[in-house]
Structure 1
């Protein structure tokens, strides 16, 4: 299958060169960075270069993508517009994220992905990311680096996500209030205060969201507070701060069998002869997350600079489940330092990047019986210490003939210490410390890029990834401490092509990859539905990702037009993910498709904005059927999801701006699931997503 992907990429490559050779010199324009690929600057791999000059697959979401295209204030729909990225929401607030991979490791939560906010690590030492602790309304930009990126960002075989807050207006202050309401009891409000004066940039955001939920036992209430500040204390020194607090509660309705799903998709998991229902046990998640990070950037001169960050975090987590009641507290500490040295004047201009990252998370985890949503008799009392360290170096060299070579290497070390304390005096086993230390590994990455003029580039790369079991995998909900689970290893081979034609109207980004995974970590469930994890042999992951867009108009300051933006865009992901050498008991599952990954994902949309203030966004998403278990005996239904937003933004005098919008989701009223329970016990795979629903919102801002 891979040769077909490469052939497609080469065909697009040749077609683009022909188009570029036929066109005249581009007319200089001033466009938004979501339109003009030639000018988009990304931070991935610490290059701070144009996307066109970055030898990696990087997906970019701007504030328009995050906060305007879709009405519902959630990260999920925006992330799903990127090829190679799949975000699930099994119930409101329960996120799952996969980058060039499956979600079989994540019954819920985000694993095998590293995340950062302006160099501050958000992923803890145990490999877990509280993605649902972020509110999309406080975000201004997301970069998604697809594939292993261990040469600079440490352990992981999935990818890396870089978050940024809202851009603060220079030399101005801004206050914005917002509110929204919609179907199924949806309600939200927000307040944003920003000031960019006196060599500082400060942004304070509070956002509230609540909903009764589409299904029984699926209500959600979330409050988020974020503070970002950047202070230029001298021409060479900048100090930044990031503060986050999230208070989240969402109910978990549980998975349904196919018969239950077809009979009443709004139902929660019913009781069985041996287990109570989700509603009777008040199943849900209570999560409070606090995070405080400090960053210090020092520029010795125009060639050498260093950024050093430190952070502390705390998570209070409670999960009344069907069979038990888990209470967990996580305390995290960590830091990261990165130094860049630029040597621009030699025969081969080179930029060196060196640094290190150290993370530590201390977890106290107790399990109780669950009596109707109330913690009962204690069952287990455990402590887990996770440590993760990374040392990395990278060199980026400009070669003759417009080639650029990037080579990186990192050393990664992951360690766990586990202690179980006795909970009963009679026959109790004394507390014993168990260690699981994985052998340190070296992860190299090499990439070569060539630019063709100002509008076209191509790259090839070879990168390695390493993903140790996360803390929730080595100590799963089924209990115990898994001393036999091995890290997942991977090597990715990739070729990419991106560029633009027709004076920047037509833009394309195509990449083909082959990721070979060994010791793949897969999820299992016991009879009660609690998960545990095993190594599942090899997986071959081959894929083709394509992103195209065409702008029908190019805004011009000299000749105003009706439309500021009129663009058609298209995203396609083709995958062929298969198990190799995979034995489950006596059954050979080799050559089966990996569950949870659609072979074909198509997303297309049209964005329109007029100078009169009207704007509209229409998005259509299609996923063909895919297996829901390792045996490939159960398949999903194809997904056809239509979403639309219509709004009006208007200035009220010189300082005030009013923004009114209405949005519709699942406008085709399809019964579908935005997140299946993979390899579910009892064939409870199905979590119904909301039927056709609408919402309306308002934003009012003042700037001075």
Structure 2
């Protein structure tokens, strides 16, 4: 019996020793801002210099609990002690190595350098070059992107000319707040009301994306500032400036080893340069991360905006030149404004099935409640959207080479209710403003779309990546008219369902040296028709309309030279759009949507970033980019008018940007931004053009430590230094009413300043 016990004891000891000998220490490396897993991170022991690598999921295994140096090209090196607990390690990107940064390609880790499409990254440093309120100067430093801003709440963004014919907002491009669609069921997008300081990065993909809805112009990804692990701090800021501008901002982060929380609150107020231009906005953003063991993590995301802003609207040429601070007469008399509350909320679950297979599922909802008195009526609208996005992401070996793929679907439903009422401001004494009268309309729209997508990236060789993607979209509308003024008015209730649209994409990138690649791609995209465009004056739905569709074909190169100090990105492209949608006027205040022709978009985009000085105590950098737009109506016949061969309305011929910025170890930093915007056609007939203009902005700041745990930042900025008079937004093809001149112009702000201070306390 003793022999049996001795034998069992020996077996247990041997087994235990074996387990101890095989004990390993695990962890995962992620991007600190986006949370994306980082593959091929080198993890080197400080004891024996042995190096280990993270896998596609960002995971690693090391044999000993000791200090390790983590390195990845494009990221800042760190030293960390790895112990027996499963660790999540966050790496910060290095702004001096932008061409190596991992991009947010549907959570497939992908280097910017190896992407088969043109991608532009705007880092937090790019965002902080100007003030923290207006996103237009930031986006306009990106080649191929042009944002016109008539006011803080009146903007239009175009990418490669797509969306230029939309009159009052952004349409026909897609945008996402991390993984939540910001583009509604009619293809309209609003990003300007988000708190700019909430973004850690903005990624802009040019051309149609298979995995993001195949929008014609491209996709804007707003990456919110992630919640940091193992950090607790409060960041507060107050700024003020011209035209009664004030802003308060507070940002708090609470982080433990495997969970973190971040909340951001801002309050912005401005009287505005023009009459009827006051602006008030409060925002609150929250996100949190929970890492639940090795195979699961959860992310919660929420954003809320409360906006009240008056609307000065556009001016005719005489008022624009002689009294640019005025508001349009009818908008001033009615005191037209926008009062809206909007929010989004999402939950994302990331589950790992194996080392080479995972699934990411997001459930989200958004709402918008708005009340907008306008001179011609009062609009009351409510939007509630709900959706789900799920994809399976895998990696496999095919013919001894890596094949990365993602297969997924996106379901999205809008429930949109809107009513209009008479505006009786003309029946009341001047200064009264808008007065709500009788109801005119009451509609309810249900808008639904389904996207099914597949994208693969195959490494043909170590230096060649081939990509194939496909997106299938099915969109439908249902309209219910709940109020009819009289029996003679038609009931516009009805439904409309598009034929399914298949949008393929093909791309290839070839590494020509260690630090540079050439790439080419062809992608198909489309723009959905808004429900209002489908309605005929008799109340019937025009089922003959077709969505705008087109192909984008481009060739480009990106990389770095001069000892990794000069980064370059250049692309040439052609985009052919057919079934051009226009509004045809058939009677007084009566329009119908028609497919009127084709457009051709030829363009050149060049971006150069040079690190002139990169010393430990001082850095000096420069950025230059140039955009050349040759966009024409290839075929455009509207009744008796033949606009074929004319330049596309609302897009400048060329745009040039130059930036010089510096930073120093003593805390002094600053930058100068110069921008040139070429003239653009205002009418389809090209009979009227806007004037070109030049803007120069300047910012200077000083960072210092108040105490060991308290950091401060003082800053001062000056915009439009040379007081250029320019139109910051154009209303194309404006109509004249009752003999008045058409109102084409939104005046830009004259010279203006802002200043403020920021304090960070680290616990």
What TM-score results when the alignment is normalised by the length of structure 2?
0.83
Q: After superposition, what is the alpha-carbon deviation per residue over 1:312-350, rounded to whole angstroms, capped at 9, x for unaligned?
A: 111101221121111111110101001111014752320
Q: 2:559 & 2:747 partners in 1: Cα distance?
A: 39
1:328 aligns with 2:388: no
Residue in 2 that maps onto 1:667: 721
Partners of 1:41 and 1:61 in 2: CA distance? 13
Cα separation, partners in 2 of 1:478 and 1:167, compared to 1, 3 Å: farther
Given candidates 631, 637, 656, the residue that maps to 1:583 is: 637
1:166-198 deviation per Cα after TM superposition (whole angstroms, max 9, x unaligned):
243431111011111100111110111112214
Partner-residue secondary structure (3-state), 2:274: coil
Give 1:120's aligned residue.
180
Task: Identify the match of residue 346 of structure 2 among 279, 290, 293.
Answer: 293
Equivalent residue, structure 2, for 1:631: 685
Q: 2:370 aligns with which of 305, 314, 317?
A: 317
2:647 counterpart residue number: 593
TM-score normalised according to structure 1 size: 0.90
> Greater relative contact order (Cα 8 A, min sep 6): structure 1 or 2?
1
Structure 1 residues 28 and 62, CA gap change in structure 2 (3 angstroms): closer
Which segment is superposed worse, 36-45 or 213-222? 36-45
Mean alpha-carbon deviation: is it higher for 456-465 or for 297-306? 297-306
1:21: which partner in 2?
Answer: none
Q: Secondary structure at the match of 1:104?
A: coil
Q: How far apart in 1 are the matches of 2:73 and 2:549?
A: 46
Task: Give the structure 2 partner of residue 49 of structure 1.
Answer: 110
Write the distance in 2 (CA, Å) between the matches of 1:199 and 1:30: 21
Whether 1:395 and 2:456 are equivalent positions in the alignment is yes
Counterpart of 1:279 in 2: which secondary structure?
A: helix
1:550-629 pair list within 5 angstroms: 550-555=610-615, 560-561=616-617, 563=618, 565-629=619-683
Measure the CA separation in 2 of the matches of 1:228 and 1:620: 35
Contact 2:560 2:566 in 1 (8 A): yes
Aligned to 1:242: 301
Distance 1:664 1:419, change over 3 A: same
Would the aligned equivalents of 1:514 and 1:541 in 2 still touch at CA under 8 Å? yes
Q: Does the alignment pair 1:648 with 2:709?
A: no
Contact 1:525 1:679 in 2 (8 A): no
What's the CA shift for 1:482?
5.5
- Which range is displaced more, 173-182 or 343-352? 343-352
The alignment status of 1:96 with 2:150, answered yes or no, reads no
RMSD: 2.3
- Aligned residue number for residue 362 of structure 1: 415
Deviation digits for residues 522-545 of structure 1 (CA, Å, limit 9, x no counterpart): 356799889864433100000000
Q: 1:231 aligns to what SS in structure 2?
A: strand
Q: 1:132 deviation in Å?
A: 2.9
Q: 1:480 to 1:549 in 2, by over 3 A?
A: farther
Shift of 1:645: 0.6
Q: How does 1:206-221 map to 2 (within 5 A)?
A: 206-221=265-280
Q: Is the 8 A contact 1:507 1:549 kept in 2?
A: yes
Q: Distance in 2 between matches of 1:91 and 1:478?
A: 36
Partner of 2:79: none
Using the TM superposition, name which of 128-137 and 225-234 deviates more.
128-137
- Aligned match of 2:229: 170
Report if the CA contact (8 A) 1:105-1:521 is conserved.
Answer: no
Task: Give unmatched runs, 5+ long, in structure 1.
Answer: 1-26, 271-276
Structure 2: distance between partners of 1:481 and 1:658: 60
For residues 247-646 of structure 1, the aligned pairs below 5 Å read: 247-270=306-329, 277-344=330-397, 346-372=399-425, 373-400=434-461, 402-424=463-485, 426-427=486-487, 433-471=493-531, 473-474=533-534, 483-522=543-582, 533-555=593-615, 560-561=616-617, 563=618, 565-646=619-700
Contact 1:478/1:531 (<8 A) preserved? no
Q: CA deviation digits over 1:612-648, x for unaligned, max 9?
A: 1111011000011110111111101111011111001
Q: CA deviation at 1:45?
A: 5.6
Task: Give a deviation string over 1:279-316, Cα, whole Å, max 9, x none.
Answer: 11121211110211111010112210111001111110
Q: Secondary structure at the match of 2:227?
A: coil
The answer as to whether partners of 1:307 and 1:337 remain within 8 angstroms in 2 is yes
User: Is residue 2:122 matched to residue 1:61?
Assistant: yes
Does residue 1:159 correspond to 2:218, yes or no?
A: yes
Query: How far apart, CA to CA, are the structure 2 residues paired with 1:609 and 1:241?
Result: 35
**Conserved? CA contact 1:38–1:454, under 8 Å:** no
Distance 1:75 1:545, change over 3 A: same
**SS of equivalent to 2:354:** coil
**In 2 relative to 1, CA 79–481 (structure 1 residues): closer, same or farther, beyond 3 Å?**
farther
Q: State the match for 1:181 in structure 2.
A: 240
Shift of 1:503: 1.2
Q: C-alpha separation between the residues in 2 aligned to 1:124 and 1:680? A: 26
Task: Specify every segment of 5 or more residues in structure 2 that has no aligned partner in the other structure, as ranges.
Answer: 1-71, 77-92, 426-433, 737-741
The range that moved more, 126-135 or 139-148, is 126-135
| Most deviating of 441-450 and 116-125 | 116-125
Cα distance change, pair 703–531 in 1 and its aligned pair in 2 (3 A): farther
Aligned mates of 2:414, 2:460 — CA distance in 1: 43
Equivalents in 2 of 1:690, 1:189: separation in Å? 22
Residue 474 of structure 1, CA deviation: 4.5
Paired residues in the alignment total 663
